[in-house]
Structure 1
Amino acid sequence: MDVELEEVKALVKVFTPDVIISDQRFGFRHRKVKSIIISHQLHLNLPKYAFFGQWLNRKMLRKFDEVWVPDSELDLSGELSQSKIAHKRIGILSRFRQAVEAQEPKYKYLVIVSGPMPYAKDFLLEMSERLSNCEGKHALIAGLDAFDYEATKDNVEVYYQPNQEWMERLFGESEIIISRSGYSTLMDLIRLKRNAILIPTKGQNEQEYLAKHNAKRKQFTFVTEEEFKNYPL
């Protein structure tokens, strides 16, 4: 965090900004420039006895002049953004501008592989192998860091970090989306108005909460990793 603070000081000297907006980076602020943080994590999904974690999170948020929550009346974040800390909701933030019109399906399943290694790699290879035994054509989207792992099969196409145009095309040509339940992914799915099977990364409490909380929406189905092993595709 100290490194970030020093970098911001140097940037402020060069650019003299009127406002600084931080995307969930506690160190990206300056005491002499209005500093705003964007975060949905005002109340961390921690065990009830983790008082220090909650206290530290609130302390760091209060160092900013304003707190903006990327959410709307849809309440994607649920209790994660419920806090006495002053904040305002600024609506859903997504790389996509509007819903993608569904086309004649080219793929039955489109899998979005996200998250840190080695979990992303394991998910990529597992889904590639499993879909290779499913009837029809399927597609996977993964980051460039998974490029070295061969996942392409006869009926499974893999796209490594496709651009926005390709992403929209893949979403429009796919019948069912399978993805993790990270907050950014959920906002994209909401914006695109696409149905999805949500499989939270095991051990990621926030993803598990978000998947359960948003499973009340007809467009989402919540399945744990253990349940997914026997989930019919």
Structure 2
Amino acid sequence: MAGIKTILVSPLEWGLGHTVRVVPVIARLAEQGHRVIMASDGRSLGFLRLRFPRLEWVKMPFYPVHYSGNRHFLFSLIPQLPGILQAIRKNRLQIRSLIKEHSIDLIICDNRYGLTAPGIPSVFITNQLWLKAPRGIHWGEWLGYRIHLRLLRGFSEIWLPDFPGLPNISGIQTHPPQLPAKARYIGPLSRFEGVVPVKPEGAVPPDFLVLLSGPEPQRSILEELMIRLLSEKGKPAVLLRGLPSADPESGPVIEQTGCITMISHAGDPHILWYMMEAGTIICRPGNSTVTDLILVGRSAILIPTPGHTEQEYVAGHLAGQGLFDVCVQDKIESCLANIRGRDGS
């Protein structure tokens, strides 16, 4: 990338997965001396401002999607499509205004379809080029792929954060039967790139570490379930709740419930320490979470979000490569029953 450029980086604000994935992208660009402007909203923007306090930022809201706890994720999205499409149109108008205001040379976004503008190179980062369909309508995946490529036709490049061959993280989602010419593999993106683990003050290696993430209400449902089950086991456990404040000046909220330490959010050095020192790790199979675990050499018990086809597929794909264990949410009690603590009990 010749010369110093003004680059806008914008992740989708649906949970923190898209946000943490752009952390190494922002870090590399800033190290190269480029002017980086971060664009997001809510907890996502708060996280980025905390992680990169010296960088410029702008608010760029998106539709606050809500996932029903008792319906398939895709079917939960359908009634929200008008709001999502309106948000894409608003993003498209805002990005053109920002280009004029800040003389932006390049746009890099993670799953934000509205961030294209005539004459400005734009990059779309995704781990879901091929969209998995629910059981019973798998026949529609090829049609969905063609439609998806049409939605991406305004982008200059498509970046796939995965390995080009086997083993890989996302399977067919990043390795479709026909890869478009403008798509390329950039390797996994992890927030822990260049991070040195730091032990939190007073912390001890927990028997169990739960990494909570993903859309509500399923994030909270799993949290409540794990609190009950781990309390019954009586072993030291840490729940990283994945709830950073929208205010970057706010510190983490730490609560102690019996043998369980619940932390609203933590800095990357502390999270990395817990990941490396924990006995057993339990988490959703979100792309950023499993990528982080693979790159630090840890396995985990993956609990797919019920009705979330992508997570169900990825969990099975990774388990098939011998990288992780999988447990469905309504069977987690029996899965945990056979796991012993550090003392063997």
Map of 2:124 onto structure 1: 37
Q: Is the Cα–Cα contact under 8 Å of residues 110 and 174 in structure 1 kept in the other structure?
A: yes
Q: Is the Cα–Cα contact under 8 Å of residues 236 and 259 in structure 2 kept in the other structure?
A: yes
The residue type paired with residue 213 of structure 1 is H
Q: CA deviation at 1:137?
A: 0.6
Q: CA deviation at 1:53?
A: 3.6
The 5 Å alignment of 1:138-217 reads 138-144=237-243, 152-217=256-321
Question: In 1, Cα distance between the equivalents of 2:323 and 2:169?
Answer: 13
Runs of 4+ residues over 6 Å off in structure 1 = none
The 5 Å alignment of 1:221-232 reads 221-231=325-335, 232=337
Q: CA deviation at 1:170?
A: 1.4
For the residue of structure 1 that corresponds to 2:293, the secondary structure is helix
Q: CA deviation at 1:100?
A: 7.5
Question: Which of 31, 44, 58 is matched with 2:149 structurally?
Answer: 58
The 5 Å alignment of 1:2-151 reads 2-46=89-133, 47-50=137-140, 53-72=144-163, 73=165, 74-83=167-176, 84=178, 85-86=180-181, 87-97=183-193, 106-144=205-243
Q: CA deviation at 1:99?
A: 8.8
Question: In 2, Cα distance between the equivalents of 1:79 and 1:100?
Answer: 33
Question: In 2, Cα distance between the equivalents of 1:194 and 1:99?
Answer: 16
Question: In 2, Cα distance between the equivalents of 1:151 and 1:132?
Answer: 14
Q: Is the Cα–Cα contact under 8 Å of residues 195 and 269 in structure 2 kept in the other structure?
A: no
Name the count of aligned residue pairs: 229
Greater shift, 53-62 or 152-161, is seen at 53-62
Q: Is the Cα–Cα contact under 8 Å of residues 176 and 196 in structure 1 kept in the other structure?
A: yes
Q: CA deviation at 1:185?
A: 0.9
Q: CA deviation at 1:218?
A: 3.5
Question: In 2, Cα distance between the equivalents of 1:198 and 1:63?
Answer: 35
Q: Is the Cα–Cα contact under 8 Å of residues 195 and 268 in structure 2 kept in the other structure?
A: no
TM, length-normalised to structure 2 = 0.62
RMSD between aligned residues: 2.4
The residue type paired with residue 140 of structure 2 is A
The residue type paired with residue 194 of structure 1 is R
The residue type paired with residue 273 of structure 2 is R
Q: In the superposition, relative to structure 1, how do residues 152 and 203 fare at CA in structure 2: closer, same or farther (>3 Å)?
A: farther
For the residue of structure 2 that corresponds to 1:107, the secondary structure is coil
Give the fraction of aligned pairs with identical amino acids, expressed as a percent. 30
Q: In the superposition, relative to structure 1, how do residues 159 and 4 fare at CA in structure 2: closer, same or farther (>3 Å)?
A: same
Q: CA deviation at 1:69?
A: 0.2
Unmatched runs of 5 consecutive residues or more in structure 1: none
Q: Is the Cα–Cα contact under 8 Å of residues 244 and 265 in structure 2 kept in the other structure?
A: no
Q: CA deviation at 1:92?
A: 0.6
TM, length-normalised to structure 1 = 0.89
Question: In 2, Cα distance between the equivalents of 1:224 and 1:88?
Answer: 33
